Structure 1
Amino acid sequence: MNKSIINKTGFVALLAFLFMGCKDLDLTPENVYTDLTYWKTTDQASGMLNTAYSQLFSSDYFFYNEAMSDNAYSGRGDQAGSTSLASGAYDASLPRLKNEWNDCYRAIKTCNVFLDNVDRVPNMDESLRTRMKAEARFIRAFQYFRLMTWFGDVPLIKKDLTIVEAQTISRSPREEVLFFVVTELNEIVNNLPVNTEYGPKDKGRITKGAAIALKARVMLYEGNWQEVVNACSLLMDNTSNGTYGLFNSYEGLFLPQNENNNEVILDMQYVPLLRTWSNFFDLAPLSVGGRVNVMAPTQELVDSYLTLNGKRIGEAGAGYDENDPYVNRDPRLTYTVVYHGYQWKEASGDPKTIYIKPGSDPNHNKPEMDPNERNPPDEYAPGSSKTPTGYYIRKYYDPTHAANFTSGLNLILIRYADVLLMYAEAKNELAKLDEATWNRTIRPIRVRAGFTDAAALNYNSALTQEQLREVIRNERRTELALEGLRIFDIRRWRIAETVLNGWAHGAKFGPANEDNGYIRVNLRSFDRTKHYLWPVPREERNLNPNLSQNPNW
């Protein structure tokens, strides 16, 4: 796992940069990285760019953003603000808002400092300088895309700011930020290598394909369907923009031995012992070493998985049995969610059965058992440290993990399956989804998932555009489940006001007289008049009165 973009030089630069204390629109001392004595070597410039890479995104947001949606629930604490955001019980003082704002602007500052100063480096290979500038501009555009998606209007900063400027700048209109993001991506695309041009030591760097795919995602969120088609086509029809395809195993896609495969377009690179994440310590079943459960899948997510003949569980002829609900289902369910009776596979050894249904563990209250072992670790129990929904997470489990589930497994931000799904959605919204489009997008995704029934794989010409819309949306949900994208989909589709109002549920381990026995997990509320945009963080507005506030906050 050779990931030299997070090398010693970059790590030292990161520590120094963070030690200076970036915060509040980057009120950082200007006497180190803008000093003429710093920008003397290519290695120094690389160190600054590597810092920007390390600030691209965080594992906490990657995982816990899912609990902001109807796919998962964070039941212990308020992980990355997800519980408050999902329930609608927050205001402008919520720490997650300030943290997201500052994280983005910290990365933007790093990119601006790099771009303001990289031309000072003498004797630098000009093609490398051009490429590195494009990488920094991509990371900066990625951060602005995050900011405008959450907050709408945000300050658009294209150069390193003085302290006075940072304390007086105003929010730029969202349309201006959007124009900047798209323009940046258009301008840098031809200055970036394709994925096959990077050698082993540079795997994980930003590519031409990543710039195209990010533009497709930006256009998707804008509902600019023709531009989505145009961007996705560049990756689907033209290998001069990169060589991408579906990896041959859905399960294997998320395993460490298959990192940097041709489905990965953009990811967060990790290095065992140097840059790691350990979120699974609080996601895995307790019987396999989990500490406590802080986030668990919902019944709503589980119910979204089709039966093997391509039908929803409530459809006639689906073959769904509520008393044996996990058989005859989309194989991706097993690779994503841990349910009662799950066969948990380790890197070696026999599978371990996960007992979640109350009273089901063979060791439950056996008198010959040690008293400390009579309370089975995974059986659902309200108010315990176990799963609050009756489910645990499997996707992104690293069988090669170190102590406390510490992992160097890369976390994928954009992959080729998403490109196919974006293309299918856009073609349908343009009323142009035909059998040929289906066979290039949904069909191969389902084949890779493990479907074999013709009814699940073949295009159904009898479906209306609205019915196809629901098929594609559900396919996005199950294919990309627990990858942090659902919250953005339900917001751009404007269905958050529906799916985030009312009870989120867990497995059928609750009182029979309440919601047919499905656990009531969390009562949620989404106000369509305000919650589609986050409020500007209160602390930022206290520091800078020129920052206006979003409607109804």
Structure 2
Amino acid sequence: MKKILSRFTWLLCCLIGLVPTGCKRDFLSSYPKNNLTATNYYKTEDDFTSAVNGIYDALQADRELSFFPMADIATPFAGFGDNRFGQYDNGIFGVTDGWVMAQTFWVAWYRVVFRANLVLDHIDNKEVTISTAAHDRLKGEALFLRSLAYFYLTNLYGDVPLITRELKYEELLTPRNKKAEVVAAIIADLKTAETLLPSVTQYRSKKALLGRASKGAAKSLLGKVYVYEKRWPEAEAKLNEVINVDKDYSLEPQFLDLFWPSTENGKESIFEIQYAGGVKEGNSYVRFAAPNTASLISTAGFGYVTPTEDYTNLFETTNGFPVTSTFVSRVAAGSAYRYTFTHQSADPAFDPSKPYSNRDPRLAWTVWYENTPYISEFQARTGQSGVNYLQQYANENGHNTVKYIIGKLDLTAGDSPGNMILIRYADVLLLYAETLIELNRNTEAAAYINSVRQRPSVAMPTLQTLETVQNRTIIADQQAMRKFLREERYRELAFEWGHLYMDQIRWDVFADEIVKYWTAKKYGGSNPALGSFDKRHYLWPIPAEERNKNPQLTQNPGY
């Protein structure tokens, strides 16, 4: 599944106008000039396999969806004024931010929709020669991928055009449908997809299929949709199927294995975007998120994801005590700054001179910091020696992200072979715990939160232990459980696929958190206090270029 698009699929996509950057000229010039069209092409299993591969290819496009993990830098947990991803200093994404923002993701997700529609328009035709098993799997994949696209489109932009069939050019000039109508279509498609798709266990026995959408992926996304829509009984039923009925997934013992190419598509993986590496066949996130040094990767990264001290404060000591930090000073050093903090904790074993030592192990596997113990793990996995991480490698605050940064690569373009994880089992466990909390089943919810915290390589104290250590009530208090669940999602899922940003928006805490964070002269800077945040900006703008092409597209309020 790594190199999922065939050369013939590229030809097909070019012929039907879905690859705006063009095709390889040498291939096209050598291909016989015939009357290949969408109408006479979709006839065989090979035809539909290639066409579905083309949908997956739309997910893989260089410098497009692979940048979505950077959405988390809009939150108070990462990013220090390097305005690379929209005006994330105040959480507002502009109308004309170009390729880095609203325009890119709108086009990328609709490319997935259009390619899925081509498959779904033809796969049920009577003249198609295809086995029942292949028909069901390929149709289920197309339905899942279209649903995935619309899930992100509706949560980022709100009302969007609901296009569920191949359209003529003039028909593309369509107005936006209400979000509720699109969500209803997502749910219907996922319900169908889960009946058509095979279990991931079948893929694991056929390595060539591993990485394709499975029954568990459809169920997990459907459960996630229900959570986002606050349809708690339906969310409970669907997520329970994934966890306690099907039992196709489990937690990886080693947290870091989730983000390493040699161990990807493992037993915790529910859906990943597959990358093969090599120029234009890999993801470009590594180059843009990696530290600004060639000692860790062969070409210095841009360091766009810089976790803040507010984020590192979320990680307790290994004994379960909270840690707080107080800003002391910042000093300019080249293009970056050096920050000084004092750290405090009630943990008797806490050493303020080594504030990141003896902390929740996920801290070292999420954040680069000077003298991080992750360096030894990094060296062992890459075979490198003499590797170091210095504070000046970060563009702003001395931190970078660890996730997906996999070592010495020729990162001249989008060529990291590391997959991008969209849905994994820990995410599902925490969504289920959240659902149980909303249904006032806190004791049950605690068990699922504990299971994530007690992954063998993490082994953090249970909530019951924390109540004793911190001398406070958590499990019996619904508000306390909500807060803890949210912080656990922050610790577990940061900088993977925009979970932090999307969670804060759906919980309606983003405005308060970003105002609280952006006080005047934050960390010695010159910024004014943010003061307020208009929640209309929870939705991204409809891109100016799209509205110019389609006058029927209205703009979201506030832009």
TM-score above 0.5, yes or no: yes
1:478 matched to which residue of 2? 491
Q: 1:402 to 1:504 in 2, by over 3 A?
A: farther
Any conservation in 2 of the 1:193–1:208 contact (CA below 8 Å)? yes
Displacement, 1:473?
0.7
Secondary structure of the corresponding residue to residue 304 of structure 1 = coil
Alignment deviations for residues 4-30 of structure 1 (CA, whole Å, 9 cap, x no partner): 63444445545666675399xxxxxxx
1:38-437 matches, cutoff 5 A: 38-56=41-59, 58-73=64-79, 76=82, 78=84, 82-95=85-98, 96-120=101-125, 122-167=128-173, 169-198=174-203, 199-239=206-246, 243-273=248-278, 275-285=281-291, 286=293, 287-289=295-297, 290-314=300-324, 317-319=346-348, 320-343=350-373, 344=375, 345-346=378-379, 347-350=382-385, 352-356=387-391, 378=393, 386-399=394-407, 401-404=409-412, 406-434=415-443, 436-437=444-445
Q: Deviations over 1:526-546 (max 9, x none)?
A: 633411112222232233332
1:255-287: CA deviation from partner (whole Å, max 9, x where unpaired): 122111110001101113372123222333314
> Once the 2 structures are TM-superposed, how far is the Cα of residue 206 of structure 1 from its aligned partner?
0.6
* Bigger Cα displacement from structure 2, 34-43 vs 142-151: 34-43
How many Å apart are 1:122 and its aligned residue? Answer: 3.3
- C-alpha separation between the residues in 1 aligned to 2:397 and 2:527? 7
Deviations 1:75-121 (A, max 9, x none): 5452xxx2424534544333222222222222111111121123456
CA contact (8 A) 1:75 1:83 kept: no
- Tell me, in whole angstroms, the C-alpha distance in 1 between the residues paired with 2:197 and 2:460: 41
Paired positions, count: 502
Q: Partner of 1:373 in structure 2?
A: none
What letter is aligned with 1:36?
T
The whole-number CA distance in structure 1 between the counterparts of 2:460 and 2:74 is 34
Alpha-carbon distance, 1:316 to partner: 6.5
Deviations along 1:317-348, one digit per CA (max 9) or x if unpaired, are 34555442201211000011111222422212
Task: Report percent identity of matched pairs.
Answer: 28
Counterpart Cα distance in 1 of 2:193 and 2:35: 28
Can you list the C-alpha shifts for 1:153-196, whole angstroms capped at 9, x where unaligned?
111111111222212x2211111111111111112211000001
Tell me how large the CA RMSD over aligned residues is. Answer: 3.0
Change (3 A) 1:32 1:323: farther
Q: Give 5+ residue unaligned stretches, structure 1.
A: 24-30, 357-376, 379-385, 506-512
Where 1:84 maps in the other structure, the secondary structure is coil
The code of the aligned residue for 1:117 comes to H
Q: 1:481 to 1:34 in 2, by over 3 A?
A: same
Letter of the 2:501 partner, please give it: I
Q: Distance in 1 between matches of 2:526 and 2:227?
A: 33
Deviations 1:211-248 (A, max 9, x none): 01001111111122222211110011112xx5100011
Whether contact under 8 Å (2:253, 2:457) holds in the other structure is no
2:540 to 530, 534, 537: 534
What amino acid does structure 2 have at the position aligned with 1:276? G
CA distance in 1, matches of 2:546, 2:285: 29
Aligned partner of residue 412 in structure 1, secondary structure: strand
Letter in 2 for 1:295: V
CA contact (8 A) 1:304 1:474 kept: yes
SS at match of 1:414: strand
TM-score by length of 1: 0.83
Contact 1:342 1:355 in 2 (8 A): no
C-alpha separation in 2, matches of 1:525 and 1:158: 43
Larger displacement relative to structure 2 (193-202 or 334-343): 334-343
Counterparts of 1:283 and 1:521 in 2: how far apart (Å)?
Answer: 24
Q: Is the 8 A contact 1:88 1:524 kept in 2?
A: no
Alpha-carbon offset, residue 304 of structure 1: 1.2
Q: CA deviation at 1:489?
A: 0.4
Q: Which amino acid aligns with 2:229?
A: E
Partner of 2:327: none
- CA displacement 1:378-419 (0-9 Å, x = unmatched): 3xxxxxxx4201101211122464455942111111000011
